[in-house]
Chains A and B, each alone.
Chain A
């Protein structure tokens, strides 16, 4: 089945550093990838929708300059948390859709747990 790989799975860093998270579709081409944020014991909140070759569409309240998204190819999207602070600590999950079937469910990565000290 379709597989989405997310890396790293866990990262701890100091406040003020930038962290890059990668999301790859391993066996299909995904024109659209999604980035979610999940706080403990809460649901997933969509942060942005990333389309290959174009600028990401951010949800209301998500800072574009804080969460930089790049989707340079049909198999890779990256999320960079710039100048991270403790309040950015969260579980970040990416997903991707197969471009041929827009009605198909998204395939999710295993998530990245980000802890900012």
Chain B
């Protein structure tokens, strides 16, 4: 069985400062890992994915995530937050079917 834990339910940053959204996973086998973003009343947009290739994964909109097997982590980062980044972010682990984390709401202050 696989599961994922997002360590922060809410993260608030100032515009232009770095973003760190934390995610730890649990899986019996080597999983695929994803980060999705959801804007209010919208579906989900894929930011990036890890599928056992490079451990540092670059995604859209300047986001990236690093797969650390020793720490079972897949944290999402961005060097400089933009107002448009304010949304809900989901870390997802998959061994075929997807299991979602509880989500982290990112607030960006001007």
A interface with B by C-beta (< 8 Å): 4, 6, 34, 41-46, 49, 91, 93, 95, 102-103, 105-111, 113
Contacts and interface: CB of A to CB of B under 8 A. Distances in A.
Given A43-B102, A105-B34, A110-B43, 8 more contacts: A6-B43, A41-B105, A43-B100, A46-B98, A102-B96, A110-B42, A111-B41, A111-B43
Contacts of A93: 43-44
B78 interface: no
Contact of B44 (A42, A103, A108): A108
Nearest to A102: B96
B30 to A, nearest CB: 11
B97 A46 contact: yes
Interface string B34-56: 10100001111110010100000
Chain B, interface size category, equals 20 to 34
B48 to A, nearest CB: 9
Interface string B49-69: 101000000000000000000
27 contacts: A4-B43, A34-B98, A42-B103, A43-B90, A43-B103, A44-B44, A44-B100, A45-B100, A46-B97, A46-B98, A46-B99, A46-B100, A95-B98, A103-B32, A105-B34, A105-B46, A105-B49, A105-B94, A107-B46, A108-B36, A108-B43, A109-B43, A110-B42, A111-B41, A111-B42, A111-B43, A113-B41
Interface string B87-110: 000100010111111110100000
A45 B98 CA distance: 10
